[in-house]
Structure 1
Amino acid sequence: MKKSTILHLRIPFSFFLLPVFLLALAVSNEVDLTNTALTFFILHFLVYPASNGYNSYFDKDEGSIGGLKNPPRVSKELYYVSLFLDLVGLALGFLISVEFVVMILIYGLVSKAYSHPSIRLKKYPILGWLAAGVFQGYFTFLLSYIAINSTTILDTNVFQIQFPGILSSILLLGSYPMTQIYQHEEDAKRGDITISQRLGIIGTFHFTALTFLVATSGFTYYFLSQYSWNQVLVFLGAMLPILGYFGWWYLRVRQDKSHADYESTMRLNFISSLMLNGFFTYLWLS
């Protein structure tokens, strides 16, 4: 396999999507450890890399993208490897349930529609934003939950499951525009109009801050209703490094918009994912 293909799969980037899986695990009551391990592997080593590779193949980015500061030129091999990983993920999914396979298939089709030139949801600011936020958040939360608990989608229609699933999407809907903030010029070259372009650089910061406030308030209410003040205080403590870095970066960008760059975006992603992954792991173990 070519080095460029491996790089474009961006397997380490799956770390940034891990919080949704860990949240589903944290709120689970009947954890099937075999299914949990299998779901983790399917999502983070097959489905997500397949989506990354497929999108990279059609985007053919020349500038920095999530997880790759200097993306190499793509080849046809990347396209076939991405489809192969999807097929392996679907095949392994049958070890969990048919319902899980159907949901993985739907996720894969939506992720392909995001970048395929015949549909390309990415060029529509609102539709592309909603597709990414809903399917990487709420939808992935539900498919993770039914696999982890060996249950069905019909059993998830309760507050204890639906509300954190919705909150996971609100978090992603807020953070997703930030991942586009340094790509305005690259996206414009391809004719893609992202929500971050529509909001503008400073507007993207304001939008993310507002959405983050809504998500934090929602999680605070959820942890109070289902757990105790201990979990709330730990959660708010975990959010402080994210808030601190976000505020510092915002002030720098206010002075000079060139600071809305790849390195700063990846640093925010890493801090956010690290703190959320740590907290949801704590929540599960506690």
Structure 2
Amino acid sequence: MTLRAVWLHLRLPFSVYLLPVCLFAMTLLPGVGNWWVALWVLFIIHVLMYPAANTFNSYYDKDEGSVNGLENPPPVDRTLFWVSMGLEGLALLGGLFVNIPFVVFILVYGAFMKAYSHPAIRIKKRPIASWLLISTFQGGFVFLMTYATLHDMSLWELLIAPAEVNLGLGTVIAFLNILALYPVTQVYQHVEDAGRGDLTISRLMGVRGTFINAWLCLLASGGCFLVFYRAQWPFWLMLSLLVPGVVHLAVLTVRVWKNPAAANYRAAMWMTRLTGWGMNLFFGIILTMEHHNWPVELRP
């Protein structure tokens, strides 16, 4: 494989659209504290951990058509497997400079993603299980992972800690957002998934069902955000920044209803881009205000 082919399979641009999960968790901290540690954690998750999972998945799927974050995937060989292992090794090594719980979180995430893609287990071919588990790990798990790491807490300490309403609600929101968007990233892969014998959740729901699910889960997420921000100005700011993504989703839904073929790679990726950048901008504003001790009033 060429270096360019390996680079493309890392799908680094797509990591940007997963960034809101971590930024959201960071807004719950009473002041992020050491920003260098926080940036190092974000780097490990988005530049090492996610690409390690992406390359592992690409190696075993050997996609020829568009996949999540990559319109024309180059052919793969064994090189990609070793790139995946190397990236995960670097993530674990980098995690040692943060704390041991972070290393454990990376190991757990990596083990799940291998079970998701590897032919011996291949959770991916089980539609409901893969949908729920991806939403759990890329949503709620990474949210808690970020929060716990920056608090120097293990998963066990996190589970037995006194209940905090915002932490629990934030975990549910992160889960719901991936629950909404994950099937949309599969909606243009139906033919290729069928050829491999993978009954994905999007194939199970159908093209129209995929978009109905997106609306229902996003509306549920919006309701949780309304409660989380207590209907105050941060909620309305977030809503305004998501207008382009919501409008695009509405237009796309109408087109798909008339012609399911309208649910192509570029249309689905534009929705991901618009919602991802809207959320990144929103949480970036909140974190900047918290850093400068401007009143945000996010915590009860």
**TM bucket, shorter chain:** over 0.9
Q: CA deviation at 1:239?
A: 2.5
Residue deviations 1:186-215, cap 9 Å, x none? 100000011111111011111110111000
Structure 1 residue aligned with 2:133, among 120, 131, 134?
Answer: 131
Moved more, 72-81 or 28-37: 28-37
Task: Provide the rounded CA distance (Å) in 2 between the counterparts of 1:251 and 1:37.
Answer: 40
SS in 1 for 2:76: coil
Alignment of 1:34-183 (within 5 A): 34-153=36-155, 154-155=157-158, 157-183=163-189
Moved more, 111-120 or 23-32: 23-32
Task: Provide the rounded CA distance (Å) in 2 between the counterparts of 1:15 and 1:219.
Answer: 21
What residue in structure 2 maps to residue 262 of structure 1?
A: 265
Q: CA deviation at 1:30?
A: 4.2
Q: Is the CA contact 1:29–1:149 (under 8 Å) kept in the aligned structure 2?
A: no
Task: Provide the rounded CA distance (Å) in 2 between the counterparts of 1:201 and 1:78.
Answer: 31
What residue in structure 1 maps to residue 241 of structure 2?
A: 238
Amino acid of the structure 1 residue aligned with 2:216: L
Moved more, 233-242 or 100-109: 233-242
Task: Provide the rounded CA distance (Å) in 2 between the counterparts of 1:281 and 1:106.
Answer: 28
Residue deviations 1:102-146, cap 9 Å, x none? 111000110111110000010000111011100001100111112
Structure 2 residue aligned with 1:201, among 204, 207, 211?
Answer: 207
Q: Is the CA contact 1:20–1:140 (under 8 Å) kept in the aligned structure 2?
A: yes
SS in 2 for 1:200: helix
Q: Which runs of 5+ in 2 are unaligned?
A: 290-300
What residue in structure 1 maps to residue 194 of structure 2?
A: 188
Moved more, 235-244 or 118-127: 235-244
Q: Is the CA contact 2:101–2:152 (under 8 Å) kept in the aligned structure 1?
A: no
Task: Provide the rounded CA distance (Å) in 2 between the counterparts of 1:152 and 1:9.
Answer: 29
Q: CA deviation at 1:147?
A: 2.0
Q: CA deviation at 1:152?
A: 4.1
CA RMSD of aligned residues (A): 1.3
Q: Is the CA contact 1:245–1:268 (under 8 Å) kept in the aligned structure 2?
A: yes
Task: Provide the rounded CA distance (Å) in 1 between the counterparts of 2:153 and 2:108.
Answer: 18
Give the TM-score normalised by structure 1.
0.95
Q: Taking every aligned residue pair, what percent have the same amino acid on both sides? A: 37
Q: Which runs of 5+ in 1 are unaligned?
A: none
Task: Provide the rounded CA distance (Å) in 1 between the counterparts of 2:190 and 2:29.
Answer: 39
What residue in structure 1 maps to residue 14 of structure 2?
A: 13
Q: Is the CA contact 1:5–1:75 (under 8 Å) kept in the aligned structure 2?
A: no
Give the TM-score normalised by structure 2.
0.91
SS in 2 for 1:92: helix
